[in-house]
Amino acid sequence: MSARPVTLFATHAWVEGAWARDVLLGIGADGHWDQVRADVPMAQRLGARVLPAPVLPGVVNAHSHAFQRAIAGLTERSSGPAAASDDFWSWRERMYSVASRISPDQLEAIACFLYAELLAAGYTQVCEFHYLHNAADGQPEADPLEMSLALVRAARSVGIGLTLLPTLYMHAGFGATALQTNQRRFASTPDSVLRLVEQLRAQSAPGSLFHVGLAVHSLRAADLGAIRELDAHARREQLPIHIHVAEQTQEVQDCIAATGQRPIEHLLTKLRLDARWNLVHATHGTVAELKAVSQSGASIVLCPSTEANLGDGVFDLLAYADAGGRWSIGSDSHVTRCWTEEMRLLEYSQRMTRRQRNLAGRAAGASSTAGALLQGAIGGGSAASGVRLGGIRLGQRADFLVLDDQSPSLLGVPPGHVLDALVFSSPDARISEVYVAGRKRLDEPQAGAQRARNFAQIMKTLWA
pLDDT recorded at residue 86: 86
Which regions in the chain score pLDDT beneath 50? 1-2
CA 106-108-109 angle, 5° bins: 65
Residues labelled catalytic: 281, 332
Q: Report CA-CA distances (Å) from 33 to 8, 163, 440.
A: 11, 20, 15
Q: Are 13 and 435 a contacting pair, CB within 8 Å?
A: no
pLDDT recorded at residue 428: 86
**Do 40 and 110 lie in a common domain?**
no
Give the three-state DSSP class for 10: strand
Q: 8-65, pLDDT tens digit by residue?
A: 999 999 999 999 999 999 999 999 999 999 999 999 999 999 999 999 999 999 999 9
**Do 217 and 123 lie in a common domain?**
yes
Q: What is the tally of structural domains in the chain? A: 2
For residue 1, is it within any domain?
no
**Do 51 and 64 lie in a common domain?**
no
**Do 381 and 401 lie in a common domain?**
no
**Do 191 and 259 lie in a common domain?**
yes
**H or E, element range at 192:** helix 190-201
For residue 451, is it within any domain?
no
**Do 432 and 319 lie in a common domain?**
no
pLDDT recorded at residue 159: 96
pLDDT recorded at residue 82: 58
Residue 338: give the domain boundaries: 59-385
Residues in the chain: 464
pLDDT recorded at residue 3: 64
What stretches of 27-175 show up as alpha helix (H) in DSSP? 88-99, 104-120, 146-158
**Do 331 and 419 lie in a common domain?**
no
For residue 452, is it within any domain?
no
Q: Other C-beta atoms within 10 Å of 298: how many? A: 26
Q: Other C-beta atoms within 10 Å of 454: how many? A: 17
pLDDT recorded at residue 158: 96
Give the pairing type, strands 161-168 and 210-212. Answer: parallel
3-state secondary structure 406-463: CCCCCCCCCHHHHHHHHHHCCCCCCEEEEEECCEECCCCHHHHHHHHHHHHHHHHHHC
Q: Are 237 and 204 a contacting pair, CB within 8 Å?
A: no
**Do 363 and 410 lie in a common domain?**
no
